[in-house]
Structure 1
C-alpha cells in the first residue's frame, strides 16, 4: 500500500483528498497545513507520494517542493493547487514536481493523477512543454511574469491578497526591509509605477490570494 503525505493549508481540501485516497486503498500517513512541518513529516514518515499545494504559509511552496525533491529522488511530488498552470506549472517542473493538477479538476482526475505518478509517469499541462513565442524587441505581460524569480512571484501574490509588508515578511520568513526590496524589483521588472499598479497587474492575471 502506497503511503501519501498531504500538505495543504485548506482543511476541507485535505479532508476531501484523504477520503478519496483511502477509498482507493491508499494510506494517508500524515497531513499538515505548513510547509515547514511538511518537510519534517516527509523525513519521518518517508511517504511514497506527497500531494501539496504550493500556496501554503510559513515557507514558500516552491521552496518546499525543491527541498522535498532534494530529500529523496524517488519521492513522487504531485502539486494540487488553484494557482494558474500558465504561471506555475513550469516552475514546479523545474523544482522537481512529478505532476501538476488544478483543484478545479474532478475527483476522478486526482485519482488518475495519483496512479500515474506512482507508476512513474509525469503529469503536466501540455503548455508547459511549448516554447513561448517572442517578437523581437517586445516583451508581453506573460513574459514579464516569467522573468520573475519564485520569491518575487510569491511576494506579488501576497500583495494581490492585500497583505502589508509585515504580513508578507511573516508569511515568507524574510525581513520587512527585504519585502520592500522585492517590491522595488517587481515595479522595475513589471514596468509599474507603484504598489497599486502592481496589485492591479497581479489581479489582471488572476493570481489567487492565499
Structure 2
C-alpha cells in the first residue's frame, strides 16, 4: 500500500492535498502540523512521499528537509508552499527535495509534481533571471540573502513579521540570547540599521 505524509498546519490545505494524494492511489495518508514531529512520523510510518510546507512554526520546512537528509531517511519530498521560489527553491533542491509547487498554482500542478516524483523525476518551475529588469540594489540584496543559513533566513522572516525575540525563541526552542545573537548577526550581514529596514528588505525580496 502506498503511504504519504502531509506536513502543513492549515486544515483546508491538508484536505485539498489529501484529495490529490487519494487520486494518485495513496491509501495511507498521515498528517503532521509541526516540523518537530516529522522525523518521528517518518520512522513510525515510513511514507514513500512527503508533501512539505516551508512555513511551519518552530522548526521550518527547510530545517525539516535538512534533518531528513542528514539522518539519511529514505523518502521523496514535494515542497508545497506559499513561499516564493526565488530564495527557497535552490535551497530545497540542494537539501534533496524533488519538486517545488507554490500554493498559488492550480492543484493540477501539485498532481503533476507528485506523478513526476513518483516516477523518479524532479519537478521544478523555471527560475527567472534575477538580474533582468531589477535594480542593482535588489540584486545585491538577493545575493546577500542567498548567503544566509537556513536558520538565519527563517529568523529573518520571523523578525520581519514583527515577532518579538522571546516568541521566536519559544517557537524554535532556542534561548532568548541565541535569537538576539542571530538578530545582531543578520543586521550586520544585511547592512540593516533597524527592524523597519529589515522588514522593507524582506518585502522587496518577496520573503513576506
Give the TM-score normalised by structure 2.
0.90
User: In angstroms, what is the RMSD of aligned CA positions?
Assistant: 2.1
Q: In the superposition, relative to structure 1, how do residues 113 and 45 fare at CA in structure 2: closer, same or farther (>3 Å)?
A: same
3-state SS of paired residue (1:193) = coil
Matches of 2:12 and 2:28 in 1, distance apart? 15
How many residue pairs get aligned? The number is 203
Partner of residue 182, structure 1: 182
Which region of structure 1 is more displaced relative to structure 2, 90-99 or 62-71? Answer: 62-71
Q: Does 1:37 align with 2:37?
A: yes
Offset from partner CA, 1:101-144 (integer Å, 9 cap, x none): 1111101111110010111111223329x7989xxxx9711101
Kindly report structure 1 stretches of 4+ aligned residues shifted beyond 3 Å: 70-74, 130-133
Offset from partner CA, 1:67-115 (integer Å, 9 cap, x none): 2234445410111111110000011111111111111110111111001
Q: Which runs of 5+ in 1 are unaligned?
A: none
Is the contact made by 2:54 and 2:81 (CA closer than 8 Å) also made in structure 1? Answer: yes
Matches of 1:172 and 1:186 in 2, distance apart? 17
Question: How far 1:21 moved relative to its partner?
Answer: 1.7
Residues 191-206 of structure 1 correspond to what in structure 2 (within 5 A)? 191-206=191-206
Partner of residue 97, structure 2: 97
Question: How far 1:156 moved relative to its partner?
Answer: 0.7
Partner of residue 84, structure 2: 84
Is the contact made by 1:29 and 1:45 (CA closer than 8 Å) also made in structure 2? Answer: no
Q: Which runs of 5+ in 2 are unaligned?
A: 133-137
Is the contact made by 1:49 and 1:76 (CA closer than 8 Å) also made in structure 2? Answer: yes
3-state SS of paired residue (1:123) = coil
Question: How far 1:178 moved relative to its partner?
Answer: 1.0
3-state SS of paired residue (1:127) = coil
Matches of 1:25 and 1:182 in 2, distance apart? 44
3-state SS of paired residue (2:127) = helix
Give the TM-score normalised by structure 1.
0.89
Question: How far 1:28 moved relative to its partner?
Answer: 4.1
Is the contact made by 2:7 and 2:51 (CA closer than 8 Å) also made in structure 1? Answer: yes
Residues 111-122 of structure 1 correspond to what in structure 2 (within 5 A)? 111-122=111-122
